[in-house]
Structure 1
Amino acid sequence: MTENDLPTAEMSDTGRANLQQILDHSDDGANLILQALGQTRMAMCVTDPRQGDNPIIFANPSFYEMTRYDESDVVGNNCRMLQGEGTDPSHIAKMRDLIRNEKTGVVELLNYRKDGTSFWNAVHIGPIYDREGRLVYFYGTQWDVSNVVAARVADQQFRMINRELNHRMKNVFAVIASIVTMSSRGMDSAQDAADIARDRIVALGRAHEATIGMSMDDSGIQLRDMVAEVLSPYHRATASDAHIEGKPIELPRDAITPMGLVLHELATNSAKHGFLGNRAQELTIRWELSRDESGMLDFLWEERFDNPGTVDNVHEGSGTQIIRTVLAAVHASFERKLEENYWRSRIRLPMTNPVQIKPFEI
């Protein structure tokens, strides 16, 4: 093969000379492979494992176009120059393993251009032997698969969101069934039961709507944000004798909808019989994580009544039953106590491990 036979499109004089030098020092077997690689429009490079650090000795124009490096930057350097902060070490290790064991394979990894922009590179690596079976070169072809990776990630996210929506909707329908059943107990008329059930389902919808965009991954929602959302319709919640205390805590995603409904029930009960309805003198909402290994969230809703007789009239009905039911589904407990002038509602919710929803028992 002569110099005139080499592909000339966009290849610099230095690049043509480098390739010709490689071909001149290769036997026929390696020569054919190198000729094919030199003419491909896919980005490619050739390295020499016989030299220290296995440097690049040739790269075609497509390689420079993809990486935006110049020949002076590339020839004589190792391919690791394309790696950066976001390159996964396990992908690098896989490439090293292929080279060390003289194997052919494809590694997909995050690489960086000269200007610092990143791209996903599908690198096909393979050894080139002479007719005596001696390793003389490695070739590497590169394919920018950023769009492919982006589409794959989008598909994975879609599948995750779809699973999450199915999961949450099953829980929502289970809660609705519980609401309808329990709201009818002890009611004098079907209309009363329907009104109560409607209000609770609307509240469930608000909790679901407020959090649906905040929990599509494994993350949760800040408890303080949820409390603020539930209290927002009540003017008295902003009074000086309403206290909300607690450090930032992220609720497990499976506990978001149940907690939203429970907080609504507590607020509704308070509006009818307690502080939010101007029948109690002080409201304290406080939460903290237990200091032991249980990792429990201790949530307290406390209302103070100046008139002890008023406390005795606080109603505990189907709302409390719903609270217990939805909290039991996320392995949480609920306790209500009347202590002197205080009506205290306490929730204990596990936080250390992912919450596994149990079937609702109606």
Structure 2
Amino acid sequence: MSSNDTNTGINKQARDGFLVVSSSVWSSLYYELIKSQNDTIATRVLSTYLAICCGADATHQRSKWSSGAIYKRVGIAPSASKKAIAWLSEHNYIEIKKEAKKNVSPDYRINFFGNNPKDTNATDNIYIPNGIVSGVNGDESQSPLRILRDHHNPHLLYLFIRLYGFQDKYLDVVNPDIASTAVNSQNLDATMLYETNKELGGTIRVWGLNKQTTPQINIRQSTEFHDFEKYKDIEGLGGGVGFFTTLSKLNLINHVTHLCNGEMTHSGDEIEHLYIPYANDQSDHKITLCSSGATSNSQPLIYELEHYNYFSILPSNYKKVHYQQFIKMTYRTKLGEVVRRIDDDKQLNQDIDKLMKGVELKSMGII
């Protein structure tokens, strides 16, 4: 179960700000490091770079975070982070305008190599929540970056950050064509369990997914995100499945199930989201229907529902629906386009509430 509300819980600080990393620069930095450094040093330099980017001002290009600030948030010893900063400067990823001194902040300029971090339409920019570096809920000692850095696996860190550049902004999930139930051939078409009759208005339908069917997220091995076929093992992660499993164990991603319009589709750009069943609490409606004497397969609806997951109510004009499961980043930036989707969800939920109120009144003989 997960929430899309980034104003609550662990997402609040992540929502309050973001750092910008150039995708092409991030890739260049990663490949240069793994060719010339061991895993520990490569991960340390990548982490230091992200910390410097997090400490940047509104231009995303000027940072004043010293080695002390990096130690506080990422846990890299000042002597080690100074070496990492020197490496970044020597290889032109940052320019040191002013060295750090006692009680004096440094002045680093982040090189975007011609890319514009302020251009919100630039496809090269990756937007990452500040909480990834600075921690969430005020706990700097357990920032996601620190947890990732302690794995000493530059491949894991590189791909995790890159994953923020491959998001479906409307659904607020990882691009479904990379990892989702849409990738495989599994059929998650919903079963219609009940429809109110004409005496009760004929207004709603109840849908569910048989408990014997468990949604299985698959990974598309070769995409623009990464070629898991060419790099099958990615240094101990066990390919795409291992990568996402590792992030799940670290609570950096989670699964979310959506109810979608139409028959099961296996293409991300054909998915028509309706709402998230667990986020749309219909427990009161469930009680209303079961109390009204609703039946399914010649037995009380409440007994039939024991065999199904994702109890979902929709207006009766929806004739075919299915479920999809996606991967969602635990820490996310500002809502952006998802605000429009949340508004759509809210309107549909209001329509359902209104229809259910009519069902309740009719079943009580009031209207």
Q: How would you bin the TM-score normalised by the shorter chain? A: under 0.3
* Structure of larger gyration radius: 1
Relative contact order, higher structure (CA 8 A, sep 6+):
2
